[in-house]
Structure 1
Amino acid sequence: MTDPQIAIMMLALFIVIVLLGFPIAFTLVAMGLGFGYYAYWDPSRMHSIFDNRIFDLFVQNTFSVMSNDILVAVPLFLFMGYVVERANIVDRLFFSIRLAARKVPGSMALAALATCSLFATATGIIGAVVTLMGLLALPAMLKAGYETKYAAGVICAGGCLGILIPPSIMLIVYSAIAELSPVRLYAAAMFPGLLLAGMYMVYVVGRAYFNPSLAPSPKEEDVPPTGKIVLQLFTSFVPLFLLIMSVLGAILFGIATPAEAAGVGSAGGLLLALAYRSLTWERLKEAVYLTARTSAMVCWLFVGSWTFASVFSYLGGHDIIKNWVLSMQMTPVEFLILAQTIIFLLGWPLEWTEIIIIFVPIFLPMLADFKIDPLFFGILVALNLQTSFLTPPMAMAAYYLKGVAPKHVELIDIFKGIMPYLGIVILCMVLLYNFPGIALWLPTYFFG
Structure 2
Amino acid sequence: MIGIVMFFAALALLLSGFPVAFIFGGVALLFGVFAQGADIFAFMPFRIQSIMESTTMMAVPLFIFMGLVLQKTRLAEQLLEAMAKLFGGVRGGLAISTVLVGALLAASTGVVGASVVAMGLISLPVMLKYNYDKSLACGTICASGTLGQIIPPSIILIILGDVLGIPVGDLFKAALWPGLILIGAYIVYILIYAFMNPASAPALPVDPSISRRSYYGQALKAILPPLALILVVLGSIFAGIATPTESSALGGVGALVLALIYRQFSFKMLYDASLETVKVTAMVFAILLGATAFSMAFSYTGGDYIVEEVLTQLPGGQMGFLLLSMLAILVLGFFIDFVEISFIIVPILAPVADALGIAPIWFAILIAMNLQASFLTPPFGFALFYLKGVAPDSIRTTHIYKGVVPFILLQLVVLVTILAFPGLYGLT
Using the size of structure 2 for normalisation, the TM-score is 0.97
SS of equivalent to 2:58: helix
How far did residue 222 of structure 1 move?
A: 7.8
Over alpha carbons, which structure has the higher Rg?
1
Change (3 A) 1:223 1:405: farther
**Take 2:329 and 2:268, find their aligned partners in 1: how far apart are those partners?**
39
- Amino acid of the residue matched to residue 21 of structure 2? A
Give structure 2 stretches of 5+ with no counterpart.
Answer: none
Could you tell me whether the CA contact under 8 Å between 1:93 and 1:237 is conserved in 2? yes
Could you tell me whether the CA contact under 8 Å between 1:79 and 1:287 is conserved in 2? yes
Moved more, 425-434 or 80-89: 425-434
Residues 244-263 of structure 1: pairs in structure 2 closer than 5 A: 244-263=230-249
Residue equivalent to 2:312: 326
**Take 1:433 and 1:223, find their aligned partners in 2: how far apart are those partners?**
50
- Amino acid of the residue matched to residue 371 of structure 2? L
Moved more, 24-33 or 6-15: 24-33
Residue equivalent to 1:33: 29
Tell whether 2:210 aligns with 1:214: no
Residue equivalent to 1:20: 16
Could you tell me whether the CA contact under 8 Å between 2:113 and 2:383 is conserved in 1? yes
- Amino acid of the residue matched to residue 207 of structure 2? E
- Amino acid of the residue matched to residue 63 of structure 1? Q
Change (3 A) 1:222 1:356: farther
How far did residue 227 of structure 1 move?
A: 4.1
Tell whether 2:367 aligns with 1:381: yes
Moved more, 20-29 or 338-347: 20-29
Residue equivalent to 1:100: 86
Change (3 A) 1:222 1:116: farther
SS of equivalent to 1:166: coil
Alignment RMSD: 1.5
**Take 1:337 and 1:319, find their aligned partners in 2: how far apart are those partners?**
20
How far did residue 340 of structure 1 move?
A: 0.2
Moved more, 352-361 or 317-326: 317-326
Tell whether 2:226 aligns with 1:236: no
How far did residue 214 of structure 1 move?
A: 1.2
- Amino acid of the residue matched to residue 151 of structure 2? I
How far did residue 438 of structure 1 move?
A: 3.6
How far did residue 389 of structure 1 move?
A: 1.6
SS of equivalent to 2:240: coil
How far did residue 327 of structure 1 move?
A: 2.9
Could you tell me whether the CA contact under 8 Å between 2:2 and 2:35 is conserved in 1? no
- Amino acid of the residue matched to residue 338 of structure 2? W
How far did residue 55 of structure 1 move?
A: 4.4
Change (3 A) 1:401 1:223: farther
Which of the residues 29, 40, 56 maps onto 2:42? Answer: 56
**Take 1:141 and 1:130, find their aligned partners in 2: how far apart are those partners?**
15
Residue equivalent to 1:8: 4
Residues 39-438 of structure 1: pairs in structure 2 closer than 5 A: 39-41=35-37, 52-221=38-207, 224-438=210-424
Question: Among the aligned pairs, what percent are the same residue?
Answer: 37
Residue equivalent to 1:49: none
Could you tell me whether the CA contact under 8 Å between 1:379 and 1:439 is conserved in 2? no
SS of equivalent to 1:367: helix
Residue equivalent to 1:46: none
Give structure 1 stretches of 5+ with no counterpart.
Answer: 42-51
SS of equivalent to 1:71: coil
- Amino acid of the residue matched to residue 288 of structure 1? S
Moved more, 414-423 or 228-237: 228-237
Change (3 A) 1:327 1:160: same
Equivalent residues, number: 428
- Amino acid of the residue matched to residue 116 of structure 2? V
Change (3 A) 1:248 1:144: same
How far did residue 356 of structure 1 move?
A: 0.7
Change (3 A) 1:223 1:69: farther
How far did residue 416 of structure 1 move?
A: 0.8
**Take 1:209 and 1:273, find their aligned partners in 2: how far apart are those partners?**
40
Moved more, 353-362 or 368-377: 368-377
**Take 2:122 and 2:88, find their aligned partners in 1: how far apart are those partners?**
17
Could you tell me whether the CA contact under 8 Å between 1:92 and 1:232 is conserved in 2? no
- Amino acid of the residue matched to residue 31 of structure 2? F
How far did residue 10 of structure 1 move?
A: 1.0
How far did residue 34 of structure 1 move?
A: 2.8
**Take 1:154 and 1:435, find their aligned partners in 2: how far apart are those partners?**
27
Using the size of structure 1 for normalisation, the TM-score is 0.92
